Amino acid sequence: MATSISHRKPRYQPNVSDFLALCGRNYGYMQKWLPLDIEVGQSWQLEGEAGVLVIRILENTKYTQLVEISRPVKIMEFINTPKVLVRIYHDAKLAEVLTGQQIYQLRPVYDYPNLRMYHSDEKYQVNAFLGELLKIGSQQRLVCQS
């Protein structure tokens, strides 16, 4: 009697502890230069050795902020400016990416393969990318733009 053995890869299960730790680190990076009492629409630049970050406040409430973080590149005709929309939760001390470059809303888990070829852990990877962007601003010189 023949038995069939399934070589199917198990469904990806996100590690919530790792994800929250990553969002907590990103929050820590941002608290070095993000004021609580800033007005909606204000923007500024962080200039570091590895480049420039442009930060713009889109929403500012008692417990949360919504910011857009972008990293301008010199050869814009070939490369889109990396940009993320980040929700900052001051009560939980977390910073989470809500949207990425071409992703309108990130889901916690994607089936793989999928039409857009997102990774199963796309949400984690985009938040890790935010961590890399924020390292630019860890040793920064602040330039206000308003």
What pLDDT, on the 0 to 100 scale, is given for residue 24?
97
**Residues 130, 118: contact at Cβ < 8 Å?**
no
Summarize pLDDT for 92-114 with one digit per residue, the tens.
999 999 886 655 566 566 566 65
User: Which pairing describes strands 51-60 and 94-99: parallel, antiparallel, or unpaired?
Assistant: unpaired
Q: How far is CA 110 from CA 51, 80, 87, 117, in A?
A: 32, 24, 21, 9
Mean pLDDT for 119-131 is: 78
Summarize pLDDT for 62-93 with one digit per residue, the tens.
899 999 998 887 776 677 777 889 999 999 99
| Six token digits for residue 44 | 């500024």
State pTM to two decimals: 0.75
Q: What is the DSSP string of 63-120?
A: SEEEEEEE---S-TTTSPPPEEEEEEETTTTEEEEEE-SS-SS--S---SS-TT---T
Summarize pLDDT for 8-27 with one digit per residue, the tens.
667 667 688 998 999 999 99
Dist CA 81 CA 70 (whole Å): 7
